[in-house]
Structure 1
Amino acid sequence: MAEDTIDAAIKAHNLKAGPSKTVGLFLQGGKDWSPTLYIRLVQDYGLESEVAQHLAATYGDKAFEVAKMASVTGKRWPIVGVRLVSEFPYIEAEVKYGIKEYACTAVDMISRRTRLAFLNVQAAEEALPRIVELMGKELNWDDHKKQEELETAKKFLYYEMGYKSRSEQLTDSSEISLLPSDIDRYKKRFHKFDADQKGFITIVDVQRVLENINIQMDENTLHEILNEVDLNKNGQVELNEFLQLMSAIQKGRVSGSRLAILMKTAEENLEGRVPIPVDRSCGGL
């Protein structure tokens, strides 16, 4: 892109250009990078494959420096690499590495160092307390400074990254304007979670479905996801609230709803499961 920009400027202003001085110049971390570098991170440090690929793509051969800072997870696998949020491959060690690279604010960390604020504003807010805690420890912040950084970063997410406007797009007065066929389709999706036909779903219902399709997600994250749609804040998502959400998505008033994405993914996984016949499996019962 930089080359294209310079070429366009030269052409537009009829400038004369000499030979490029940056052809073949490696970016930091590019000298010893290779497409299979992430495999060494997995094998040598015990990182998740997704995390290792992210680190290799982001930091190049400097990914090994980040891996050395990674905390032990306390699990059998991965051995190291505690995620900031479960849905994204960013790990706590990147905060420490960012400070080494002169990151001094939580806003810098969520926007420029990890890009979480641009990828998913809710995930960025979820990661903020831990990021501030890690930065406070490394930079010797007192409680007042930590609170100041937390509030500043939240204001950044709310007013500069559009979190406030998005949170106001779905209200308890939102109308449902869906075609009958769409209503039936979304009801079927909802009832895959509401197996008892209660008319609402809770975190327990979501956990049950996720276990059936072998998806792991921590309880705090699930609470956050449901809370985004729980308009009356009673700890459960009613069918009407779910239909309001889907209607708002169709109208373009809401985008990137984690619950909508999660439920669609779960539905596709459940419908894609093929029963395994046992009549020929060595005399299976």
Structure 2
Amino acid sequence: MLDSWSLFEFFLFVFSPDQMGLLDPSTSDGRVIFFLPWQRQTIAGTTDLACDVTHKPMPTEEEISFILQEIKDYLNPDVDVRRGDVLSAWSGIRPLVQDPNKPDTQSLARNHIVHVSSSKLITIAGGKWTTYRSMAAETIDAAIEACQLKPREQHSVTETVMIEGGHGWTPTMYIRLVQDFGLDVEVAKHLSSSYGDRAFAVAKLASLTGKRWPIIGKKLHPEFPYIDAEVRYGVREYALNAVDMIARRIRLAFLNTQAAMEALPQIIDIMAEELHWSEADKRKQMEAATEFINCQMGGQVNRASRGKVAVNLTHDELQTYIKRFQLLDSGNKGYISINDIRRSFKMMSAIKSGNVVYNRFAAMAEKEQSTWQVTPTKISIDRSGGGL
């Protein structure tokens, strides 16, 4: 058995339609490339390399660069995929097994193998999480044949068995969530598609927003439909640490590492209420989740790639931009978040609404343009990383 390393990346949603994916099994070196829409964004992959076993697989810059280079051939020439468009990146390890039924000792199965020995010992090897049900069905079928079992059903029924939340779900169920609870439409659609008919149980745990609309459902991050109630529901579904919550219950770590870091303090505070954590417990959870996001979700490699872009500034220019950065960077985090930008817009607005009227914005833009024209050294936009 060998271990194979696969890498996946997340991009902004603009790179694929909502209901359509793309797969090409014939890349420049024979690996598979795909685009798939998921959670309003785009997942792209994948690489396939032999690796050593580790409990904390980390994405590498080389593999990210390979995928970026390969996917350029699938987009219109006017679309420029930049390194900064990678919002998160992660890798996983899967087993590749040699088929004992084939004489070719070099052949490796990239799915799974069910092997029945002469003593009728049945072994299932290889595979991956996405094929677990079919793996189990094939294993049971092999056991029925090898051991002459007599099952009640002629064929596996697990393919059509509804999972938790599926029995009362309908495509328009989200409308009831909006009407009955006063949830935001986008949030209601998310809860409906993620929890099925259990969405009503989740909604009952939601906090009041203090606004006229939506009435309940405080978002964990302003750019995503996840709400506070999902954290409380996740704890009651046995989520016991922040890594489990941010990555597997609420998939924010897979979607956007910076957004995950911004939502993490609120998530930990809610979990602390439910699980009665002390301040020391909260610090440990923050450290563990931060390490997970930085190491396994691509946060660290993303920052390293931005740091390689050279920016040459004079001492005076450097001091000017440091002061401007610090004005926006609330809490001295070391980066400017979408919440920082929103707060700045509210300060710019005379009525503190966050909406800047055209003439006010135009005047500021004109002033900034004048400053830009007399600036001797221009800053390369490559360092922006494709956005915030």
TM-score (norm 2): 0.46
Give 2:160's aligned residue.
24
TM alignment of 1:137-176, pairs within 5 A: 137-171=273-307, 173-174=309-310
Give 1:54's aligned residue.
190
In structure 2, relative to structure 1, the CA distance for the partners of 1:47 and 1:204 (3 Å cut) is: closer
What SS class does the counterpart of residue 195 from structure 2 fall into?
helix
Distance 1:51 1:40 in 2: 12
Ranges in structure 2 where 5+ consecutive residues have no aligned partner: 1-129, 146-150, 313-339, 359-376
State the Cα deviation string for residues 66-96 of structure 1 (Å, max 9, x = none): 1000000000100000000000000000000
Give 2:247's aligned residue.
111
The reply to whether residue 69 of structure 1 matches residue 208 of structure 2 is no
Aligned length in residues: 199
In structure 2, relative to structure 1, the CA distance for the partners of 1:35 and 1:204 (3 Å cut) is: closer
What SS class does the counterpart of residue 295 from structure 2 fall into?
helix
Give 1:244's aligned residue.
383
In structure 2, relative to structure 1, the CA distance for the partners of 1:44 and 1:239 (3 Å cut) is: farther
The reply to whether residue 211 of structure 1 matches residue 347 of structure 2 is no
The reply to whether residue 35 of structure 1 matches residue 171 of structure 2 is yes
TM-superposed CA distance for 1:170, in Å, is 1.1
Distance 1:23 1:242 in 2: 50
Distance 2:343 2:221 in 1: 22
What SS class does the counterpart of residue 33 from structure 1 fall into?
coil
Q: Which amino acid aligns with 1:58?
A: S
Distance 2:159 2:342 in 1: 56
What SS class does the counterpart of residue 240 from structure 1 fall into?
coil
TM-superposed CA distance for 1:175, in Å, is 6.7
Kindly indicate which of the two structures has a greater share of residues assigned to helix.
1
TM-superposed CA distance for 1:212, in Å, is 5.7
TM-superposed CA distance for 1:24, in Å, is 3.0
Which of structure 1's runs of 4+ aligned residues deviate more than 6 A?
Answer: none
Aligned-residue RMSD, C-alpha: 3.4
Distance 1:98 1:44 in 2: 22
Native 8 Å contact 2:208 2:217 kept in 1: yes
Give 2:330's aligned residue.
none
TM-superposed CA distance for 1:49, in Å, is 0.3
Distance 1:48 1:213 in 2: 26
Native 8 Å contact 2:133 2:158 kept in 1: no
In structure 2, relative to structure 1, the CA distance for the partners of 1:239 and 1:97 (3 Å cut) is: farther
TM-superposed CA distance for 1:258, in Å, is 3.9
Greater Cα radius of gyration, structure 1 or 2: 2
In structure 2, relative to structure 1, the CA distance for the partners of 1:22 and 1:47 (3 Å cut) is: same
In structure 2, relative to structure 1, the CA distance for the partners of 1:241 and 1:205 (3 Å cut) is: farther
TM-score (norm 1): 0.62
Distance 1:105 1:31 in 2: 29
Native 8 Å contact 2:218 2:227 kept in 1: yes
Distance 1:138 1:174 in 2: 46
What SS class does the counterpart of residue 69 from structure 1 fall into?
coil
Native 8 Å contact 2:311 2:380 kept in 1: no
Aligned residue among 79, 96, 100 for 2:232: 96
In structure 2, relative to structure 1, the CA distance for the partners of 1:44 and 1:159 (3 Å cut) is: same
What SS class does the counterpart of residue 245 from structure 2 fall into?
helix
